[in-house]
Amino acid sequence: MDVHVRDLRYFVALAEELSFTRAASDRLSVSQPTLSRQIRRLELSFRTALFERDRRTVTLTAAGRALLPHARQLIERWEGARRAVVDAVAAQDTTLTVGFQTSIGRGLVPAVTATMEKLLPGWRLRFRQISWADPTAGLAGGEVDVAVAWLPLPASGGFSRKVITREDRWVALPTDHRLADHPVVSFGDLAAEPCIALPATAGPLRDFWLGNDRRRTPARVAVTATTADEAFEAVASGLGIVLLSAGNAGIYQRENVTCRPVTGLSPSELAVVWRTGDHREAVRVFVEACCLCGAGSGAAPAIR
């Protein structure tokens, strides 16, 4: 039986987490039964157990330990091959696909488009909204060439970034919330509030927008949202609160939702991100245009 790259990804995730729960939900966004079936399928193909399991622990067998470095290498090689194909196609294209998760706004799109038209006539920008489930805004899967994305990015992945703007974190509340009439909200007053969270696969980005970097205990998650629209609908329905950037507080104004600045939080960072090693002229021009336009956007100073 042939082994698929997906099977190796499942194996590596479980080998690194040594927990079906964490590997399935946090790393792979699949159910535990699905992960179990795939691991069993892989073990059948090798005709040996790769993990020792009991009700409380998961450990690698000698066969599993032998497979792990090769599995990592094969996945890395496959990613390299996929990127090479993407780059080869892109080299013949004159369209730069830009990934984003929340509305870019801030005057960036018209300014960057004008710069691209001036410096690279014949090129055009295509924008693609990506679910929050992918914190790289489409770069990891090769769906986009560059991205305008919120930091932090995953620790690994081979991405470069430049910060476009820094903005205070605000909070979106139902209009009838007890804090909605406060001009400024202390983060301490939000500690016990139920929160709208990004998907678990967003990793550090999920923690950042829950404010977990400033909490003694993790936030209480009421519901998960994959897009900004889903998040604000949940807030309007009274299911919880959500942190957002100051710029997005202006962009996503809607009925039944009140946005207020929050003290006690570090600022958010919006960045232009690209795959390290992608030296195409169009990518360079886009990155420089984003940084230039961001520097002139006049973002509000951070509240301390």
DSSP assigned state of 189? G
Task: Kindly provide the residue ranges of all beta strands, DSSP E only, lying in the chain, ordered along the sequence.
Answer: 51-53, 58-60, 95-100, 124-129, 146-150, 159-167, 169-174, 185-186, 194-197, 220-224, 242-245, 257-263, 268-275
Q: What is the mean pLDDT of residues 145-152?
A: 91
Task: List residues bridging with 245 in a β-sheet.
Answer: 169
Tell me: pLDDT of 66 over 60: yes
Does 169-266 match 93-166+269-295 at the fold level?
yes
Q: Which of 58-62, 162-166, 291-295 has the lowest mean pLDDT?
A: 291-295
The whole-model pTM stands at: 0.66
What per-residue confidence (pLDDT) applies to 111? Answer: 82
Among candidate residues 302, 268, 248, 270, the one with its CA nearest the CA of residue 162: 270
Q: Which fold has domain 5-87?
A: Arc Repressor Mutant, subunit A (1.10.10)
What per-residue confidence (pLDDT) applies to 304? Answer: 24
Please give the mean pLDDT across all residues of the chain.
Answer: 86
**Domain at 93-166+269-295: CATH architecture:** 3-Layer(aba) Sandwich (3.40)
Which range, 59-63, 81-85, 280-284, is most confident? 59-63
Residue 301 binned pLDDT confidence (cut-offs 50, 70, 90): very low
Domain boundaries, the chain: 5-87, 93-166+269-295, 169-266
**Domain at 169-266: CATH architecture:** 3-Layer(aba) Sandwich (3.40)
